Amino acid sequence: MSWQSALACWYLRRQFRPATLKTEISVEGARALTAKRAWSPKVPAGWRLREQYGPGETLRGEWFEPATRNGGAAEAVDTPTILYLHGGGYYFCSPRSHRSIVFGLATRSRASAFSLDYRLAPEARFPAALDDALAAYRQLLASGRPAESIVIAGDSAGGGLALATLVALRDAGDPLPAGGVLFSPWTDLAASGASIRINDGVDPMFSGPAIGRAAKLYLGDTSATHPYASPVYADLHGLPPLFIQAGSTEVLLDDSRRVAENARSEGVPVELQVWPDMPHVWQIFTPFIPEGRRALDGAAGFVREVTGPRSAQPSSAMSMV
């Protein structure tokens, strides 16, 4: 572990984890804290950030894309596109709070990215976020982007949402994207994984019991094992290749392990990387920690591989990084 990662864990243990020990979740408090402390990186040279939050937008969120010489958006229909779904327990965070991941993944992948501003709980409970993700993907197809040029990616709740979106698209008979990238995905809202207990107290960001409490905000009266809310319970046959990264000390580690096992059992190509001692969604600390940069390098390699011509299938072997 680098000293930068150790510092990030120290910060999370003191500034974030105490809130997860409380029995009551403050939705407004979490949103206010995120808005206050969210860091937005500078838009890299040769790239353009285009915000779409106005009324009447068919896609609410942010486009991050290569720019033309005159500063306008480059035509990206024939280049890879990443549909990004941010984390935040389905009740806080936004495309703005996750720009460091989106910028880092898109620039490394040489892809355009759309970061979706999906509706949040508890104002909009399940299946609102899923409905928004499905509509966004279908809008990308309608705009002329081929399915085989699109990768759906997300972190934490957004990682679970990305996987649920793939399952729902398959069930609906839609053309499937080239692949899915899942960073520390939250795939089991029933909080039944062994790591919820084993890593409780070790995870620098979350306490184990906090996971079930957060799930209720999104689920409402929906069963925690509904496969579109908790895709660890879904039949994963026929999905495109998956690339998953998680930290070894996360309480959500088994949410990744079980998905990888289930996917492999159905013949889905999947690469699971378990990074020693990394905190939940450490990629968001790019460019401050070297492990974040290396993790995004690997994810970008997957994006280029599955969207490239004559793309080979990723390795199905479990990796330790």
Question: Was domain 3-320 assigned CATH 3.40.50.620?
Answer: no
Overall average pLDDT of the 247-266 stretch: 98
How long a stretch of residues is the chain? 321
- Write the pLDDT tens digit of every residue in 37-56: 767 899 999 999 999 998 88
pTM greater than 0.85 (yes/no): yes
pLDDT at position 315 is 42
pLDDT at position 6 is 94
Enumerate the active-site residues: 156, 250, 280
Nearest to 188 by CA among 243, 245, 156, 233: 233
Question: Distance between CA 241 and CA 117 in Å, rounded?
Answer: 25
Q: In the predicted model, is pLDDT for residue 162 greater than 90? A: yes
Q: Which amino acid is at 269?
A: P
pLDDT at position 68 is 72
Tokens 């990682």 belong to residue: 159
Model confidence at 70, in pLDDT bands (50, 70, 90)?
Answer: low
Q: In the predicted model, is pLDDT for residue 311 greater than 70? A: no
Q: In the predicted model, is pLDDT for residue 102 greater than 60? A: yes
Mean pLDDT of the chain: 92
Q: Which amino acid is at 105?
A: L
Question: Distance between CA 227 and CA 304 in Å, rounded?
Answer: 29
pLDDT at position 309 is 81
**E strands along 150-308, which residues?**
150-155, 179-183, 242-247, 270-275
From 114-128, 272-286, 306-320, the region with the lowest mean pLDDT: 306-320
Q: In the predicted model, is pLDDT for residue 69 greater than 60? A: no
pLDDT at position 55 is 85
CA dihedral 203, 256, 233, 59 (to 10 degrees): 100
Overall average pLDDT of the 195-211 stretch: 96
Give 246's strand partners.
274
Q: In the predicted model, is pLDDT for residue 34 greater than 70? A: yes
